[in-house]
Amino acid sequence: MRFQSQVLNDSEKDQIHQEALKILQTAGAKFHSTKALKILESNGARVDWDKKTAYIPAELVENAIKTSPSAYILGARNPQFDYPVPSPITRFCLDGTGSFAQDFYTGEHRYGTLKDNELGLRIFQTMDMGVMAWPPVSAEDKPDYSRPLHEWAALMKFTSKHGEHELHTPKQAPYFAEMLIAVMGSEEAVRARHAYSLTYCPVSPLIHDGPMMDAYLEMGGLDVPIMVLPMPAPGMTGPASLFSNLCLANAEALSSIVVYQLAHPGRPIIYSSATGTMDMRNGAFLGGTPEMGLMSAAMVEMGRYYDLPATSAGCTADAHHPGADAVLEKIITTIPPVLSGSDIILGIGVIESDQLLVLEQIIVDNEIAHVCERIFQGVNSHPDRILTNDVLDIGPGGNFLSRKSTLQFARSKEVHFSDLLDRHTLDQWVQLGRPSMYSNARKKVEEILAQPVQDALPDEIFCKLEAILAKADRDLA
């Protein structure tokens, strides 16, 4: 008896699909990639070259869905972290490319650095609920023309789980390909293992970035998976109603999938979304709202509608400081996509509308993931859970502490116990210094960072990455 939910009924999914087709055929989508427009036009789309807009017929969408793999394995540098998608369970991703970090030692709120990526990735490597890593901040101490490559290298060095990130220009693609081959050992291994994937965000409403799309088309030869992540916000970059915003997000996802499948049929695609809302008082983007959780869940259901692996944003918060506000917002944005069956939820480790990395938050979010999974697991009615005979033996009054079943279940996962939350008596809690979830998480961060890097790259490959980065810095400058 799993605890599952449904946001959209079948007719609503059909309607979102039809509305998206109408948008793509009538309004079209603007592509700043000449290569993408040529691909679309040669396959039957009408292209207005002056407006750089392609009007995409329904047949192209249907064919793209058919050629997109419905299941595959997201590999990892260490095969023990391979993750099949779709998945019967939900796991989590370290959120990526925020602007700021809260310094673990001084508490300073500052721009992110490459070192912050190293620390965040090392913490995430130890999180049992995390299967996909994303460099958590933009490394502002590296030049913009090669910055994503430095972030990719940090990802490859400091976690052996599946990694995802971005490229910004096609000039970065050859260096990225060289890095992938260095880490995985060969082009064949890169294609077969799918250990690293690219995140692609259309620019809402209905615009596709030219240099990024061209870079991703370049990587099609290595069969690098693409996570399509539309991000319209109702009333700002999307229509004001949640339902219509879902229609737009779906149209943006489908227009992306069409191009990538026309260019490389069968290339692995992940259907995803990060549809936040807007604060109507000041125009700020909000990610820690109930509506964000609902839209994430609905988009997961649309991914399933197309028989695609489906991930989503979630575990997000707008709080400016770690604490009760952040935990509340993260829980309300995690439960809906978990109950809808999201394969992977993107959001661990950051607050402030996905812009601030807090190392302790990675630990706290891993615990939130455990709690939400326990809710999803529901109530187990297996015959070994039917303990009526215990009730008959004990009868009225008494207790069940002496029963063998109580001992067995005390050691089982029937009830979730957190090692972050304090369960001492009040007097004990005071004597222990009034520990909190975050103070306990801080101790865990200190313990992890005091240890050597887990599952580190061999020195030879580490040096190869450094050489590739040095060459990229020289050439791209």
Say if residues 459 and 475 touch (Cβ distance below 8 Å): no
Q: Residue 381 above 70 pLDDT? A: yes
Asked whether residue 395 is assigned to any structural domain, the reply reads no
Q: What is the CATH number of the domain that holds 247?
A: 3.20.20.480
Residue 393 lies in a domain: no
pLDDT tens-digit series, residues 307-358: 999 999 999 999 999 999 999 999 999 999 999 999 999 999 999 999 999 9
Poorest-pLDDT segment among 33-42, 190-199, 254-263, 387-396? 387-396
- Assigned domain for 108 exists: yes
- Per-residue pLDDT, averaged over 126-155, amounts to 98
Q: Give the pLDDT score at 366.
A: 98
**pLDDT of 1 over the 70 cut:** no
Residue 13: inside a domain, yes or no?
Answer: no
Closest CA to 26 of 61, 55, 69, 62: 55
Please give the share of the chain, as a percent, with pLDDT higher than 90.
Answer: 91
Q: State residue 4's pLDDT score.
A: 85
Give CA–CA dist 365/401, Å, rounded: 33
Question: pLDDT tens-digit profile of 407-442?
Answer: 888 888 888 888 899 889 999 999 999 999 999 999
Task: Name the pLDDT band for 86 (thresholds 50, 70, 90).
Answer: very high
Nearest 5 degrees, angle CA 280-CA 7-CA 318?
35
For residue 104, name the pLDDT band (cuts at 50, 70, 90): very high
Please report the pLDDT score of residue 333 as a whole number.
98
Range of the domain at 121: 63-377
Q: Which structure tokens are listed for 310?
A: 């489906």
Residue for token pair 């972030």: 151
The answer to the question of residue 34 being in a domain is: no
The domain total for the chain is 1
pLDDT tens digit string along 186-233? 999 999 999 999 999 999 999 999 999 999 999 999 999 999 999 999
User: How many angstroms separate the Cα of 291 from the Cα of each of 106, 275, 287, 310?
Assistant: 35, 9, 9, 19
**H helix or E strand, kind and range, residue 162:** strand 162-165
Lowest-confidence range among 83-97, 120-134, 158-172, 415-429? 415-429
Does the residue 271 lie in any domain?
Answer: yes
Q: Where are the alpha helices (DSSP H) in 185-323?
A: 187-193, 210-218, 242-263, 290-305
Q: Average pLDDT for residues 101-130, to the nearest whole number?
A: 98
Q: Is residue 90 part of a domain?
A: yes
Is the residue at 412 inside a domain? no
Residue 2 has pLDDT above 80, yes or no: no
> What is the bridge-based pairing of β-strands 312-313 and 207-208?
unpaired
* pLDDT per position as a tens digit, 349-372: 999 999 999 999 999 999 999 999
Examine the pLDDT at 286 and tell me if it is beyond 90.
yes
